[in-house]
Each structure stands twice: as C-alpha cells, then as structure tokens.
Structure 1
C-alpha cells in the first residue's frame, strides 16, 4: 500500500500485519487520530530523531514492533537498525548486515566506549562517490584503514554504548565552544527530546556579553522547569546544561 500522506490511511481499510515505513513526525500525526494502530505489525522510522515518548505511545496503541533506522543516502539509505523498546534506551542500534561502523576522533583514532566521535561507514552499501563532484568525493569518501574499500564520513556525532550500540548525538557541524569546553548542541537537544513532557527542543548560543546556552522548549504538561533541569543533569555534563530557558507555546 502506497500513500502520499499518512493521513490518507484514515480513509482506507488497512489490513492487519501491515508494515509502515515513514518518518517520526508523520507517525506522530497518526497518534493524534483515532486510527487503529494495532493493524501495524511493524513501523520503520527513519530520517529524523525518534523520541522515546513517540515509541512508548506507539506500543501503547498496539503496534507490535517499532524500528529506528539510521543511514545516509551515500550508504544506500539504511546503515543501522534498532528495535526500540517500551521505556527503553534511545539509540540507533547496530550496523545492518554487510555494514561496518567506526567512531573516530579528529585524529582518526578509534574512540573508546562512551567517547563521542564522527561516524564512518563502510561495507557493501557505500557509494563510489558523487556524480561529477570529485572534490566532494575525495573529502567524504576516504580509504579504509581497517580493511578493504572506502569509508564514508557521515559528519554525524555518535558514541558507542556499553551494550555495543550507537547513540546519535547530532551533527559535527553543530558543535560550539564555550569557556574552553567543546559542546554538541545536538546532544543537548537529543537529551531534551527524550523527556516525556517535551515535544520540541532547540538549543542555541547567545553571544551577547559572555556566550551561553539557551534552550527553547515546548512542554506538553505542567512539568516544572527545575525538575527538567535536574533530570538533564543526570545524563549530561554540567557544562552542557543551558543557562537560559525559554518555554514556548505549542
């Protein structure tokens, strides 16, 4: 079944054991409807960060399997997969078959578990390069120091978990430096979006006087800001905690 808009499913008879392949924002739209989601055997979600709150709501509505898929077009779309769990850990999982993933530091050394670095992908799905863009090809497709073929520099910031899974932290070009600390804005946003009461979050740097972090959030309930800050402090270093907070209407 192919539809241009997931809301078109409301006007159709969706058979049981259907597989739905879409983006998280689209399936969040379905969650606001009365559609019987138990007809979906599996829902594959890719293209955007997948919030734990969305995962939990899908399982509560009867979906049997929720998969978080990650991958750039340069590696034939999907590179890693994770069957997300109810109240589970938000990761992008492990490499799919015939795909290798490496987390490298800026000096191209393998990062240990828990240390953030750039994700490099290798394997059967990696493209040969960009059409008529030799300069870009040379910059993004590099020799594989760990085996045959080439690796694709994704530009994504990740780290390995103790369970051998990859945790997506944001884009490498979304890093800033404040008071000597290198800070990944995407990692802060990702942590905020895992809070069950936060539906949207953006973190920016305010440059007036001394630079500081500002968090813009949309809160779905009457959750106390102090509670949100305390929970964030349990998952992020102290210098990652925004100093200014702005609560926006949905």
Structure 2
C-alpha cells in the first residue's frame, strides 16, 4: 500500500470537525463534573482509607487493605456496569451521572489511599515524636505537622489520578452519559466518519488535561515554597 493510496479526507475531515465541534463540546460539562466530583469525593474517602491502612486496629487495617486490593484489581467499566445495570436487579436504581460519579469515586479512592499512605509514611517518624513532645495531641500533630508535609509529596501522583479520571470519564458513555465522547460517537455514526470525531475528541481531552497540568505545576511551586 502506497502513501498516495491513503484517503486522507477520511482520516480527518476539517469541515465535519468544525461543523460538529460545538455539539461535541456541549458534553464537556459532564466530563468535568464526573472527573472533578469523583476526584474530590475520592480524595475524602481515600484519605480515610489511608488512615485505616496505617491504623493499629486490625479490623480497620484489613478492611482497607481488602477494599483497596479489590478496587485496584477491578476494571472501572465493570464497576460502572454493576452500578447502572446490575443494581436494579436488587431494587437499587442510579441515574447515569450519579452512577458514574459513584463508580469513579469508589475506584479512584483506592489509588488515592495508597498515594496518601505512602506520603504519610515518607515523613520521618521523628516529626511525630517532636510534635507530641511539645504536648500536642496525636490528631493535631497529624493535621498541623504531618499532613502539610505529606501533601507536598502527594501532589504529583494525585495529579496523575485526576488526569486519569478525565480520560477514564469517557467510559461513562457506556452507561449513556452524554459526555464529549458519547456525542462524538453519535456524530461519527451519523456521518459514518468515526476517525475524524475520535481525533477531535482526543484533542479536546488533551486540552483539558493540559489545563490540569498547568494547575499541577502551580501547586507544586506553591507547596515547594511552603
């Protein structure tokens, strides 16, 4: 096959892309909502799980370890299908968007928990001893001394989690969420040109992730100066 035989107009039709850009981009709200809320809730749940993992209470430690292992070993798409298509069989119903947010929250929390746990463990134990020697209770030592230092370590890997969430949010299209990927699929099917639409949606995701990368660098600089 020669390069001259390639039908370049079927690889990226600029006119089709421009004509449908607005429609595809109309789903960006769902993409940002699912990824941002899923990350925020995952951060809260992940932090709780990380505290369970470093807890000396065996029951809490084992529960967190099993949960993290299960969520890291289960495809997110399977979890979304379970919440949206499976739970109705036991009388529990979720709309598509809440199901997507819940699914990404439960999944991302497992990765966030391990990131935070490793960041907390990276702080020298002498920091704990120094804080408690000043008469501070363990909780204040954690929040005022340990957590601020751990955040500086955790920012880069946490940024990777939210970038992965932005890209993984495209899976929500599989449970009928009208995000940018779902809209691109609709146009691609209607116009019989998936190549153009998938290239365009890839560029949109790249743009979103680039924005988060700028925020990541600012946070790293802020925590670095701190």
TM-score by length of 2: 0.26
Which structure features the higher share of helix residues? Answer: 2
Bigger relative CO (Cα 8 Å, ≥ 6 apart): 2
Which structure features the higher share of strand residues? Answer: 1
Q: Which has the larger radius of gyration?
A: 2
